[in-house]
Structures are given as C-alpha cells and as structure tokens.
Structure 1
C-alpha cells in the first residue's frame, strides 16, 4: 500500500456483530461512517458466515482491490483477517472490541474502547504507517494451511479453550470455569516434538537429529504451546517473554503428570509466574512439529488429546507444524504508538 491517496484509500471492513456483546456492531457503524466522511472508499466485506466473509476478503486482497483490510471484533476476527492478508502487502487495521483482544493488547493497540479504537485506525490511515510483525504458518496433513497471530495450543490450554467456546456464558470468567472442569478430569497426554532452529532449550532434555539440524523431545505433558505473543484467553500470560517481532516461537512444554500439578500451574498463568516452576520449560525455536505418541496406558483409559487451537479457533487434531514467518503481517499503527518499528506504506 502506498502513502494515503489524495482521493481516499480503498478499504475493506469486516465486522463480527456478535463480538464484545454488541460493541463490534456499534464500532463497525461508527468506523464506516468516519472513514467515508474522511473520503475513503469503504467496502463492507461482512457476510452471513465466517467462510463467506473470508472468501470475499481474500478475493478483494488477491485482486488488488484494497489498500487495507480493517477488522472489527476480537481475536477470532483478527484471525480471520490474517488468513486474508498475512504474507501479502495489504496491511491489517484492528478495532479491538472483543472479549479478549490478546493480539491487539500485545501490540499496544486500544482495546474495549470503541471511540478510541476507531480514532486509532483513522489516525493510522491518515499517517500511512504500519508495523511489521511475525505470524505463525500452521500446516496440518489433509487440511488447509492456516495463519495464527497469537499462539498454537495443543494441551490443557486447548482443552480449556474448546470448553470455554462451547459455554453459553460469554464473559472472561468462562476460561476460569472451563479450566476448573478440565483440570478435574485431567490426565497427562503423550507427545513427540520435532524442533528446528532452536536457540534456547529452556532446560528441557532434547535429542539432536537430522545431522544436528533438529531436536526431538518425547514425553507426557499437560501443556504444549507454540506462542508468537505473550498472552491468550483474555490476558493469560502463557509465554510472558514472547515477542511478536523476534522471529522466534516461544514453545512452552509443561511435563506435569498430576491433576494437583496442573491445578497449581493454571492460576500462575494469569501473571506469567508459572514459567518459574522447575516443571515448566520455555524453548525458543523457529519451527515445531507437534504429534501425539502412543500412550503407555491401557486402551480406553488414555485421555484423548484435545484438538489444537490457534487464536482461540479450532485447528484440528495433531499432528501439525507451526513455523514462525518474520514480518508476515503488516498492522496499521498510529503515529503515537510505542509498540515497535514502523515504516510508511511505500511498498
């Protein structure tokens, strides 16, 4: 996208009307009115289903019809927008008015404040500034590739996410309620991890393979999470030192085998103190393949692995490969943002 056009930018807007208990619908109307009054050409790409919305957004981006795509909602809406623009030159604007807004929060964007968030996007468009950040490319055998902006969860956090999503209660407390249920039924799962580009083993005993170009770990664990950002689930600090622009994944492995151990970890995750425990390891790598391994428990007694989730959205069963792609996503930022490197939209 070039610097702001004299005749206004061509903008696609995607609104999730159910996000934020109705805040997103109001924000979408306010945003569209503000953008059109400023002379921008706004195309409402929202459709009755997420699949139809994504298909329309992809057509617009791939056809060169947009100077930017702006999403209005929570992390699920950001996830949808990333499928359309990650790996392209089209930047993503975010009006964060969902229940969690973890990706926006880690970038220092305004969250849960409709007027401020709309003002921010408009100022970013006027200034023509973007921040380039990393995204996770996820490949799963037999399923379409996906982009994830925040974290890929493949353990207890994925099980909690799935249960929380299914709950009728939509407040932030649903993650805590879901965690209590999942911990009560917890039995550790068996994993095999293949890591490439490891820069820090986090104290986890790894075995090298592929001529030293990769490392392997096998064992039972409560959590395996590949994080691009520091938080998930509305502020759970799953990987508190993760950075969205360092070209690395923070891979959290918690080889905790008991319910008491799992129950002890979860409360600490709200502040990130769980990583201080000796049974929690955070590795740094460019890529990780996560697979299930046969369990030593008798058939019928082994706990089935939960489906993996990314940005709170279901990715499907293991195995999968998560690979960080540096600078894959361009995010619109306002001139007063303090969240990292910016550059004008000249490419």
Structure 2
C-alpha cells in the first residue's frame, strides 16, 4: 500500500470540530510515516468529486474527519473499491464510528489507530446498505423519526440537538401511525400500520439511539425494526428505551432480518445515515463486505 493517503475534512462538522480535529489526526498520521494530502470541498458535491478523484488516483486510504454526514459522503467514494476507509469521529452523532468500535472525541488517538491499522494491514471488510444508488453504513429511517428530521431540517432556530428535540415534541402533537407495504427478500408482502420502520445495517442512529440494537456489520443482513401503531403515551414510554436497546422486547416492537427490503408508504421521506434519500417507495439491499475499514 502506498504511504500517500488522503484526509477528507468537513470543516463545519460538530460546529467546527471537524476543522479542529483534522490537525492532530494529520500530525499523528505524518508521525507514523504517511504523506497526508488534505481534501476540503467547496460544498458536498465538490467534496465528493475530489474524494472520488483521490480514490481513482490510487490514494492509500481515504480518512474522513467529521460526523456521520462526512462518513456517509466518504462511503460514496470508497464503497465497492479496495481503498481503505478511516474515520476520525468529530461530529455530533458518530454512529458509524461507534458501530466500528472507533475512538470518539480524540482525533490524535484516532489518527494513531488508523496509522497502526494501515501499517499492520489490520483492515476489515464490512457490509453496507445500498438504496437508489446511495450507500449507507448505519440506519435507513422512515416514519416518525424521519418526520422529526423533516421538521428539524425546516427549523432555523435553535441549532444543534435541541432543534430536533423540539421537532420531536411538535411531531408528537400531530402523530398518526403510517400504513406501510413492506416486502422482504423472502418475497412475502406485509400490509402493516407502524409508527416507524428502521432498516439497520448498523445498530444506532441519532448519536447512540440503538434502534436496531442487534444489527451486525458483518452478517450480510439488515435488522429491520418495526414499531407498530401505539398511542403517544406508549411512544413516550418506549422511546427512552431506545438508548439502551431494551425497546426490542416491548410488545409493539418486532424485528425482521433480511438481505433486502422494499418500503412503500405515502408522504414519507427516507433518511440514511441522517441524510435525506427522497420519498418512499425505497428498496434497500445489504451488500456484504462493500467497504474496507481501518479498525482497532
């Protein structure tokens, strides 16, 4: 593997933490003997073009510095190639890094760990989800949670996580279950009412909410969590359990495992890794070993 690697930086991640994290990560990588080139795009589309160019030119690794949004963007450049992906978690959620067992909030340690992984060829091929030409590492969300995202994205104030807490309260006031048509790869179609359906390649979203707590990045399958129709009161009781993953035992929750799923519903936007995919219907498939990552 070449010693020339690419640092892929989002300077706005985590209110500027991305830019601040880039320097100690780069220093750790250079101290380990790597030649580091930094890529910062003018916008997401430009950044992705630059990252893809780096991969096509034979960079030894693409190291994404930022949160889940930056990891998601990096996946679009490296998925399906043999170029290793490293993550320096410097965002708000960091769910993909968390699923991989990577350091959170310590860019120098992350840089050292990535260097050790690359030099020792300690790399792991992990699964990704693929939907409408887009790769995702964590969870495809639809339903109540995606409506919270929709509302939060429309709000100008406040900023950060508080905005989405307020959006959740507003969505609770207007809450209604959604009628879905869900088809798994066994070919059986289920007509169901649900509060939300989450398709998990990874186990968590939203900064550690273990909505698909049993998901495994290496089993070639999605864990599909269905929260059935419930009252606002029940939803408020179940929701805090998501942070521990104990909601899966609640009677309104069911889990399906499949390599592919189609979701059809009216008036819903799908989100993957927290990024909007577009309206349902959406068809997702789990692609085994789609990306090579530098791991502890």
Q: Is the 8 A contact 1:221 1:255 kept in 2?
A: yes
Once the two structures are superposed, what CA deviation does each residue of 1:99-123 show, in whole Å capped at 9, x if it has no partner?
Answer: 1101111111001122222222222
Measure the CA separation in 2 of the matches of 1:59 and 1:188: 44
Aligned-residue CA RMSD (Å): 1.8
- Find out whether 1:332 has 2:294 as its counterpart: yes
1:57 and 1:252 map into 2 onto residues whose CA distance is 33
Matches within 5 A, 1:220-231: 220-231=193-204
**By how many angstroms is 1:127 displaced?**
2.0
Q: Which runs of 5+ in 2 are unaligned?
A: none
1:306 aligns with 2:235: no
Q: Which residue of 1 aligns with 2:151?
A: 163
After TM superposition, list the pairs within 5 Å mapping 1:1-347 onto structure 2: 2=1, 5=2, 9-61=3-55, 63-139=56-132, 145-167=133-155, 168-196=157-185, 213-292=186-265, 305-333=267-295, 337=296
**CA separation in 1, counterparts of 2:246 and 2:27?**
44
The match for 1:204 is none
Cα distance in 2 between the residues matched to 1:33 and 1:257: 51
Structure 1 residue 173: deviation in Å? Answer: 4.6
TM-score by length of 1: 0.80
Work out the CA distance in 2 between the residues paired with 1:115 and 1:177: 34
Cα separation, 1, equivalents of 2:97 and 2:147: 23
- Aligned to 1:242, what secondary structure does the other structure show? coil
Q: What secondary structure sits across from 1:20 in the alignment?
A: coil
Aligned residue for 1:230, secondary structure, equals: coil
Unaligned runs of 5+ in 1: 140-144, 197-212, 294-304, 338-347
How many positions carry a matched residue from both structures?
A: 295
Helix, strand or coil for the counterpart of 2:149? helix
2:95–2:208 Cα contact (<8 Å) kept = yes
Give the structure with higher Rg (CA).
1
Task: Tell whether the 8 Å contact from 2:29 to 2:111 is kept in structure 1 after alignment.
Answer: no
Whole-Å separation in 1 of the counterparts to 2:73 and 2:30: 24
Q: CA deviation at 1:68?
A: 0.7
Shift of 1:332: 0.7
| Partner residue, 1:201 | none
Q: Secondary structure at the match of 1:284?
A: strand
Alpha-carbon distance in structure 1 between the residues aligned to 2:225 and 2:31 = 46
